[in-house]
C-alpha cells in the first residue's frame, strides 16, 4: 500500500514537472512589445474603489504610435476590475468628483483636435466633454467643492501669427514664440473657461483643500530650462489671479502637497542650485512663509532621494524615496527629525502611491512583472497585490536578479543591479551587456528592467549578464553622492562602471573579451565614451541619443543652464580644453569598438548632430564598424511602437553579432533585420 502511494506521488510529481517545463518560455522582443502595465491610479473619496489606467499595446498592423490607455475601476470588496473605457483610446490624469459619482480624465476623443477634460459615470457609460479650451490642456484639477475645475493651457498663436501662417509665411523665431502656460478656471454651471493668469508660466498647481488658494510652480517663460531651474512657489488667488510668492527656491523643484487643513505645503526640491536631484523634503507654513534658507530640510543627511509626497494627516507627511536600488515609503512627523518605514526596502519598485481611508494604494513592479496595483494596510504594513495585468507571463521563466555591491578604485562603495543569464551555470563565463541609465541624476531599481531601451529579460534569454550600475552622480544615495561628478564628467563616475565590470570578471561571471555597453541620453554619452576613450575595454557599443561633443552640446541643448549649474560649474568658453577632453569625438578616430548610433531626428535635448559628429569621425578615421540610425518624428527617446521595436531588435542583434557570433568583427550586420513581427 505504501509502495503504491509512493508510485502515485512520483507520477504526480513527474506530471507536475512536465507541466512546469512546458510552461517555461523565454523572452523575445515580440514578448516585450506585448506588455501592458498600470500607469495611473486614483482611489475614490470613500476608499472603496480605485480608478486606474492600464496600457494596451498597439499592434503593428495599425498606424505607428504609442500604446493605448484604458480605464478600469477596481472594487476593494469584490476584488474585481470593471471596464469603463477600453479599446483604442488614449486617456490620462484621472480624478474623481468629490461625491465619487464621476471620473474625470484628459483625452482627445473622436474628432477633437486637442486634449480636453472629459467625465464619465463611475459605473460606465458614455463620456461627456467638459472643457473647450483653445489649445490642449496639460493639467487640471477639480475644485474641492466640485463646482469648478482649474486647468493649464495656452492661448496659442496670436492673430498676427495666424494671419501670416495662412498666407504661407511659416518662419519660426527660435525661443521667441513660446506660449505662456496660463491657468484657467472652468465653471461647471456656465460651461465657460476664464483665463486667470498671463505673462508667466504655470508648470504645476494644486488646490488647497479649503478651496481658497491655488499653490503653483511658476517661472517667467515656458522654456525647458525654466521648468528645470527657475520655478518658484506662489499662491494664486482663484478669484482675481493675484499671485504671492511664498518660497523662492534656488534650483530644482518637482512636487508639492497640501495638508488637509490648508495650513502647510510640503514640497521636494534641490538643496541649492547645484543639486542635480530635486530629492529633499521641505514644508512651508502658508500663513507664515519663510525664506528657503530658514525652512527645515526634513531629509538633511538622508542617504536617499525623495520622489513623491502626500499627507496622512495634518501632522504627518508620507514620502516615497529611492534608497540604493530599492524604493521605500516613510512617514515624517512635522517638527521631528526621525522618519518611520511604511514600505521597507526590497519589497516593491515603486512608481506612485496615494492615501485612502483603507490604507495606501501603490503602483509598483518587481523583477518578474511590470507595474501593477498594490495595497498596504497601515496597521499591519501588509502588502497585497490587487491586479494581474499580464496573465500570459505565467508561462515564462525568469532569470535571477539581485543587488550587487562593490568597491570603486578610490574605495567608494558602488551599488547596482545584476541580471543573470536565463540558464546560468556556475563556473561558466558569459558575455555582458552593461546598461547605463541616463540623467545621470537617476537610478536603476531592483524591479522590472525589461523594456525597449533596457533589454532586461530579453537580453538574459539570449545568454547575457546584464549589469546596471548606479555610478556616482546617481540618485538614491543622498545629495553628496549625486554631486560627485560635478566638473568631472566621465571621470571617476565612468571608472565606477569599469570597476564594476572588473568585479564581475574577477568573480568568474564575465568573459573579458565579450563586454558590451549601451544606454540612452547620459547612458548614450557613457556608451560613446566607452567606445572611444576606453575602446580596448568594449567589444560592442550602442549609443542612443547620446552626447558626443560637450562643446556643441552645451550650445544646442534646451537645458543649457541646468547643464552648467548642476554638472559643469563652468561654461565652455571658460575651459574649452576640459569640455573637449570629456567629449568622445576627441578620441573617436582611435576607436576599434563596433558602434551602433541611434537618434531621434527631432531631439531637442541632445541634438541629432551629436550622433552625426561621432558617426562621421568614426566612419572617416577609425577602424571600427559603425552605423547611424535616425528615427523620424522621435525626440529624446522613442515613442512610436515601430521605433521602439526597431531599437530593441536592432540593438540586441548588434550585441549578438559582436559579442556572440563567429562572424568577422570588421564587418557590419545587414541593415534590414528580419523582425518577425507577429
Encode pLDDT of 329-352 as tens digits. 999 999 999 999 999 999 999 999
- Cβ of 665: how many Cβ atoms within 10 Å? 16
Encode pLDDT of 511-549 as tens digits. 999 999 999 999 999 999 999 999 999 999 999 999 999
Encode pLDDT of 571-594 as tens digits. 999 999 999 999 999 999 999 999
What mean pLDDT do residues 232-257 have? 97
Residue 358 confidence class, pLDDT cut points 50, 70, 90: confident
Encode pLDDT of 129-182 as tens digits. 999 999 999 999 999 999 999 999 999 888 899 999 999 999 999 999 899 999
- Cβ of 300: how many Cβ atoms within 10 Å? 12
Please answer whether residues 497 and 469 qualify as being in contact, where contact means their C-beta atoms are separated by less than 8 angstroms.
Answer: yes
Encode pLDDT of 625-668 as tens digits. 999 999 999 999 999 999 999 999 999 999 999 999 998 888 99
3-state helix, strand, coil in the chain (%, to 5): 20, 35, 45
Q: What is the percent of the chain where pLDDT is above 90?
A: 92
Encode pLDDT of 396-408 as tens digits. 999 999 999 999 9
What mean pLDDT do residues 222-249 have? 97
Please answer whether residues 247 and 292 qualify as being in contact, where contact means their C-beta atoms are separated by less than 8 angstroms.
Answer: yes
For the sheet with 540-544, list strands across it: 401-407, 413-419, 465-470, 430-436, 510-520, 540-544, 595-600, 626-631
pLDDT of residue 678: 61
Q: How, if at all, do strands 243-247 and 510-520 pair?
A: unpaired
User: What is the dihedral angle through the alpha carbons of 630, 633, 639, 644, rounded to the nearest 10 degrees?
Assistant: -30
C-alpha span between 157 and 169 (Å, rounded): 13
Distances (CA, A) of 403 to 196, 330, 445, 469, 675: 50, 21, 9, 10, 33
Q: Does domain 397-659 have CATH number 3.40.50.1820?
A: yes
pLDDT of residue 4: 53
Task: Give the position of cell 505645503.
Answer: 265
Q: Which three cell numbers stand for residue 86?
A: 477600453
CA atoms within 13 A on the CB side of 38: 30
The residue ranges of every structural domain in the chain are: 397-659
- Cβ of 56: how many Cβ atoms within 10 Å? 15
- Residue 19 scores a pLDDT above 70: no
Q: How, if at all, do strands 91-96 and 102-107 pair?
A: antiparallel
Whole-angstrom distance between the N-terminal and C-terminal Cα of the chain? 53
- Cβ of 574: how many Cβ atoms within 10 Å? 11
Positive or negative CA dihedral for 268, 138, 186, 161? positive
Q: Which three cell numbers stand for residue 307?
A: 520622489
Encode pLDDT of 44-58 as tens digits. 999 999 999 999 999
Which residue in 537, 539, 518 sits closest to 528, CA to CA?
518
Encode pLDDT of 402-453 as tens digits. 999 999 999 999 999 999 999 999 999 999 999 999 999 999 999 999 999 9
Q: Which three cell numbers stand for residue 520?
A: 540612452
Amino acid at each position: 500500500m505504501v509502495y503504491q502511494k509512493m508510485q502515485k506521488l512520483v507520477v504526480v510529481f513527474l506530471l507536475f514537472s512536465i507541466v512546469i517545463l512546458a510552461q517555461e518560455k523565454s523572452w523575445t522582443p515580440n514578448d516585450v512589445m506585448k506588455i501592458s502595465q498600470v500607469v495611473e491610479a486614483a482611489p475614490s473619496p470613500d476608499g472603496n474603489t480605485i480608478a486606474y489606467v492600464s496600457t494596451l499595446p498597439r499592434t503593428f498592423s495599425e498606424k505607428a504610435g504609442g500604446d493605448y490607455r484604458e480605464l478600469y475601476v477596481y472594487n476593494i470588496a469584490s476584488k474585481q476590475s470593471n471596464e469603463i473605457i477600453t479599446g483604442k483610446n488614449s486617456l490620462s490624469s484621472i480624478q474623481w468628483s468629490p461625491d465619487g459619482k464621476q471620473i474625470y480624465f484628459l483625452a482627445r476623443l473622436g474628432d477633437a483636435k486637442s486634449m480636453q477634460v472629459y467625465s464619465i459615470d463611475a459605473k460606465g457609460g458614455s463620456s461627456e466633454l467638459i472643457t473647450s479650451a483653445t489649445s490642449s490642456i496639460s493639467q487640471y484639477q477639480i475644485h474641492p467643492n466640485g463646482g469648478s475645475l482649474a486647468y493649464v493651457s495656452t492661448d496659442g498663436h496670436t492673430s498676427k501669427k495666424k494671419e501670416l501662417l495662412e498666407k504661407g509665411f511659416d518662419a519660426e523665431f527660435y525661443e521667441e514664440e513660446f506660449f505662456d502656460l496660463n491657468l484657467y478656471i472652468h465653471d461647471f454651471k456656465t460651461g465657460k473657461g476664464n483665463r486667470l493668469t498671463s505673462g508667466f508660466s504655470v508648470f504645476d498647481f494644486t488646490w488647497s483643500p479649503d478651496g481658497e488658494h491655488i499653490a503653483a510652480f511658476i517661472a517667467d517663460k515656458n522654456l525647458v530650462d525654466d521648468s528645470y531651474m527657475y520655478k518658484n512657489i506662489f499662491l494664486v488667488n482663484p478669484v482675481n489671479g493675484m499671485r504671492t510668492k511664498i518660497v523662492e527656491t534656488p534650483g530644482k523643484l518637482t512636487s508639492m502637497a497640501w495638508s488637509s487643513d490648508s495650513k502647510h505645503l510640503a514640497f521636494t526640491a534641490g538643496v541649492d542650485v547645484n543639486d542635480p536631484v530635486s530629492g529633499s523634503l521641505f514644508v512651508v507654513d502658508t500663513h507664515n512663509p519663510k525664506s528657503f534658507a530658514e525652512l527645515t530640510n526634513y531629509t538633511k543627511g538622508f542617504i536617499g532621494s525623495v520622489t513623491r509626497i502626500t499627507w496622512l494627516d495634518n501632522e504627518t507627511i508620507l514620502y516615497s524615496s529611492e534608497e540604493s536600488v530599492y524604493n521605500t515609503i516613510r512617514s515624517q512627523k512635522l517638527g521631528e527629525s526621525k522618519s518611520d518605514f511604511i514600505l521597507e526596502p526590497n519589497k516593491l519598485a515603486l512608481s506612485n502611491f496615494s492615501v485612502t481611508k483603507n490604507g495606501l494604494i501603490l503602483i509598483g513592479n518587481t523583477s518578474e512583472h511590470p507595474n501593477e496595483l498594490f495595497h498596504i494596510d497601515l496597521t499591519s504594513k501588509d502588502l497585497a497585490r490587487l491586479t494581474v495585468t499580464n496573465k500570459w507571463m505565467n508561462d515564462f521563466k525568469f532569470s535571477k536578479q539581485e543587488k550587487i555591491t562593490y568597491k570603486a578604485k578610490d574605495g567608494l562603495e558602488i551599488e547596482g543591479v545584476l541580471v543573470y543569464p536565463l540558464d546560468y551555470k556556475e563556473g561558466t563565463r558569459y558575455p555582458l551587456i552593461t546598461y547605463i541609465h541616463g540623467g545621470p541624476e537617476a537610478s536603476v531599481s531592483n524591479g522590472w528592467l525589461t523594456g525597449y531601451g533596457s533589454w532586461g529579460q530579453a537580453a538574459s534569454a539570449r545568454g547575457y549578464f546584464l549589469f546596471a550600475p548606479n555610478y556616482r552622480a546617481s540618485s538614491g544615495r543622498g545629495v553628496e553622492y549625486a554631486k560627485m561628478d560635478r566638473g568631472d564628467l566621465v571621470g571617476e563616475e565612468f571608472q565606477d562602471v569599469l570597476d564594476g565590470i572588473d568585479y564581475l570578471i574577477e568573480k568568474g561571471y564575465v568573459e573579458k573579451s565579450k563586454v558590451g555597453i549601451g544606454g540612452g541620453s547620459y547612458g548614450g554619452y557613457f556608451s560613446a565614451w566607452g567606445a572611444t576613450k576606453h575602446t580596448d575595454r568594449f567589444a560592442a557599443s550602442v549609443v542612443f541619443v547620446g552626447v558626443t561633443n560637450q562643446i556643441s552640446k552645451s550650445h544646442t541643448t534646451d537645458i543649457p543652464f541646468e547643464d552648467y549649474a548642476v554638472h559643469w560649474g563652468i561654461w565652455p568658453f571658460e575651459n574649452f580644453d576640459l569640455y573637449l577632453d570629456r567629449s568622445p569625438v576627441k578620441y573617436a578616430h582611435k576607436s576599434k569598438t563596433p558602434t551602433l548610433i541611434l537618434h531621434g531626428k527631432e531631439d531637442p535635448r541632445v541634438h541629432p548632430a551629436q550622433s552625426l559628429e561621432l558617426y562621421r569621425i568614426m566612419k572617416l578615421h577609425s577602424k571600427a564598424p559603425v552605423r547611424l540610425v535616425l528615427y523620424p518624428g522621435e525626440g529624446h527617446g522613442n515613442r512610436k511602437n515601430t521605433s521602439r521595436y526597431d531599437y530593441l531588435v536592432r540593438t540586441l542583434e548588434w550585441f549578438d553579432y559582436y559579442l556572440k557570433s563567429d562572424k568577422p568583427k570588421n564587418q557590419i550586420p545587414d541593415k534590414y533585420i528580419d523582425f518577425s513581427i507577429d
